[in-house]
Structure 1
C-alpha cells in the first residue's frame, strides 16, 4: 500500500523510513496536512503527489457518527457510518463518579445500565461524553487510539458558591467555558451570539444574529427566555455557523453566516410546518443534499429540499445522544 517511490531518494526525513513517513502522513487530517507541507521539500512533494492524495482521500471519507450505547453488557461509544454500519465499538472504561447531594453525601448508587453514557453534540475528531447521573464529569475519547481522558470536575470559585447541580444537568450548555476572573456579567441582546476562543480561553465579543431573528423577537414581545431557547439554536452545517430559527408548527429557517467580519447571514433553507417540531435540531447536510435532524427518537429524520420530502433516514438508539466524528478510520 505504502510506496517509498513517492518520496525523493535524495530527501532526508530524519530517522523515519519512507514507508513509515507515508503511513503517518496518510493518517493526518487534511487541515493539518496542509500546514505540514511547509516542513520540507520532501514532505511537500509527497503530499502533493496525486497518488498520495487519492490514498489520503480514501482514508478520510465521509463523516461518521459517534453515538452512545447502553445495554445489559455495559455502555460506551459506537462509531457508525451513514449507512448504519458500526465500524468500531469502544466500551466505557472510565472510573465511576458517585453522585452526591448538596451536603456532599453520596446518594444511592445506580447501575451502569441506569447511569448510561451520553454523547455531546460535537463536530470533532474527538468524542465528548458524560454519564446520565454525573453529567458534570466530562470525558474526552480519541476513537482512533481508543483512549479516554477524564476532565477535571472542580468548579471555579464563582460556580462553587452556587447550589450544586446534580443528576440531569443540561450538559450541552455547560460543556466548556470559564467564568471571568472579574465576575463581570455579560449583557447582550436576545438573538445575539457570544463567542469563546477555546485556544486562548477568552471571550471574543458578541456577534449580532440574523436580522429576521431580531425582527421576530421584537414582534413577539410575550416570549420569555425559556421560549426563546426553544425557538433558537446554533448548528454547524457544511463548515458554516448556522442560526436555526424554529417557529414550532410554522416554519424552520436555516441562516448561514457567510461573512463574519460584516456579520452577513444568508437564509439558505426554509422548511415547512411539519418539519418545525419542538426539540428537532439539524446537525448534518449529507452528500445527497438531505438535511439530517436529531429529535430524540430511534430515527434520524431527513429533509430533501429538492422535493420537500421528510422521512426517517437512519435508525439509531437515541438521536439526542449523537455527535459527528471527523477523525481517521484507522483503529488501534
Structure 2
C-alpha cells in the first residue's frame, strides 16, 4: 500500500462493468448529462451502473490509498477540509460528511432551519432549493462548519425571494438561519467560490449583466468578492477583486497553498489563464504569480480548467466537464494527463491517513 501524501486529490470515480461495450468516455458523457432519476433507471440494463459509485483517495502519482464505497449513487460536489470530506448529493440530495481515514459517514439533516420553515409552503413536494454548499473549519475552536445558500420557492416578507444563508456545526443536528448575502453572488458553480482559513469567498454578480430584474439588490463592481466568516457567522465587507479597472474576463476562484486566488481566463480561449494571489487581505493587494498557456487537443471538448494545487514546478489542473486531471510543468510549459481515469467531483485532501487500511475493491 502506498500512503497518500499531504496533498492528495480525493475524487469520485465510475467503475465500468465488464459487459459494457460502449467506451468509458462515451458512457461518462451520457451519464453526466442525465438527471439522477434517469441514471438510476439503467439498473434494468446494467445493475453496476447505479452501484459502482465510490470515493477514491489517490496521491499525485495516481496510486489509490483508500476506496470508500457509497450506498447512494450520484453526487454533485466533493468538498474537503482538514481531515474530512463532504459529499453533496444531486439536486436537493442528502449531504454526507466522510472521514477518509476511517470510512465513517455522517448524514447531515436535509430540512430547512426553524427560522426559514415559514417558506416551505403548503403541501409542496419541494419547498426550497440549495444553490451552494461550502465546508470549512474555524481555526480558533477547531469546529467544522457548513454554509449553504438556499433559495426559498415561496415568497416570505422576511426573506423576500432571494438567497438565504444557513449554517450548521458538525455535531449539532440543526441548521441556523443567517443574513442573506450583501450582493448577488455566483453560487451555482463551485469554481465561483473558495474557502480559506475559515472564510468563504463568493464571486459577486453585477445586476446589469443579468437577463432578469432583481429587486432590492445592490450592484457590485466588476470582479468584486463577497465573503462569509464561519467563526462569527456574519458577512464581511465587499472585497475589491484583482481586475483593477481592466476589462472583465472570465473569472473563477480557488485556493492554492493557503492563498485566495482569482483565475483570469480568456473568454474566447479558455486554455489561457493568469493566477492572481491575494497577498494581504487587509491592504487588498493582489500579485500575479502564474501565467498559463495550455495547448489542449480540441477533441477534449474543454469547457474550463480549474487549478487544484501549485508549487514551484507544477500546477495540478482539473479539466471539466470530463473530470480529467492534468499536470502543467511551469518550466517547460508542457501539460500531460495524470492518468486516464475519468472522475466526477474532484477536490484536494490535506488530512492525515495514518490510520489508513489497505485498499478494498
Bucket of the pairwise TM-score, normalised by the shorter protein: 0.5 to 0.7
Task: Indicate if the aligned counterparts of 2:328 and 2:334 stay in contact, CA closer than 8 A.
Answer: yes
Q: Are the structure 2 counterparts of residues 78 and 159 from structure 1 closer, same or farther at C-alpha, using a change threshold of 3 Å?
A: farther
**Paired residues for 1:48-87 under 5 Å:** 61-71=5-15, 72=48, 73-87=51-65
User: After alignment, is 252-261 or 152-161 more displaced?
Assistant: 152-161
Counterpart of 1:254 (choices 248, 272, 275) is: 275
Give 1:137 shift: 2.4
Check if 1:199 corresponds to 2:231. Answer: yes
- Which of residues 76, 89, 101 is equivalent to 1:131? 89
CA distance in 1, matches of 2:118, 2:284: 33
Alignment check: 8 A CA contact 1:75 1:117 kept: no
Q: CA deviation at 1:202?
A: 1.8
CA contact under 8 A between 2:182 and 2:226: conserved in structure 1? no
TM-score (ref. length: structure 1): 0.61
**Change in CA separation of 1:294 and 1:121 when aligned onto 2, cut-off 3 Å:** farther
Equivalenced residue count is: 237
Contact 2:326 2:336 in 1 (8 A): yes
Cα distance in 2 between the residues matched to 1:90 and 1:139: 13
Match of residue 150 from structure 1: 107
Name the structure 1 match of 2:345.
Answer: 321
Question: What RMSD, in angstroms, separates the aligned Cα atoms of the two structures?
Answer: 3.3
- Secondary structure class of the residue paired with 2:304: coil
- Please tell me whether the aligned partners of residues 4 and 65 of structure 2 are also in contact (alpha carbons under 8 angstroms): no
Contact residue 136 and residue 171 of structure 1 kept, 8 A = no
Indicate the structure with greater helix content.
1
Question: Of 241, 248, 258, which aligns to 2:260?
Answer: 241
CA contact (8 A) 1:65 1:82 kept: yes
TM alignment of 1:86-235, pairs within 5 A = 86-93=64-71, 115-132=73-90, 134-156=91-113, 157=116, 160=119, 164=127, 171=132, 176-177=147-148, 178=165, 181=178, 185-186=182-183, 187=218, 188-212=220-244, 214-217=245-248, 231-235=250-254
> Structure 1 residue 271 and structure 2 residue 215: aligned?
no
Which residue of structure 1 aligns with residue 162 of structure 2? none
The change in CA–CA distance for 1:182 and 1:123 in structure 2 (over 3 A counts) is closer
Which residues of structure 1 form unaligned runs of 5+? 1-58, 94-111, 218-227
Q: 1:265 to 1:128 in 2, by over 3 A?
A: same
Report SS of the residue matched to 2:246: helix
Partners of 1:256 and 1:280 in 2: CA distance: 17
- What are the Cα deviations for residues 88-138 of structure 1, in whole angstroms up to 9, with x where unaligned? 111224xxxxxxxxxxxxxxxxxx5xx424442435321111233x44421
Contact 1:66 1:325 in 2 (8 A): yes
Greater strand share, 1 or 2?
Answer: 2
Within 5 Å, give how 1:17-56 maps onto structure 2.
none
Note if contact 1:80-1:86 (Cα within 8 Å) is conserved in structure 2.
yes
Q: Any idea what SS the aligned residue of 1:211 has?
A: coil
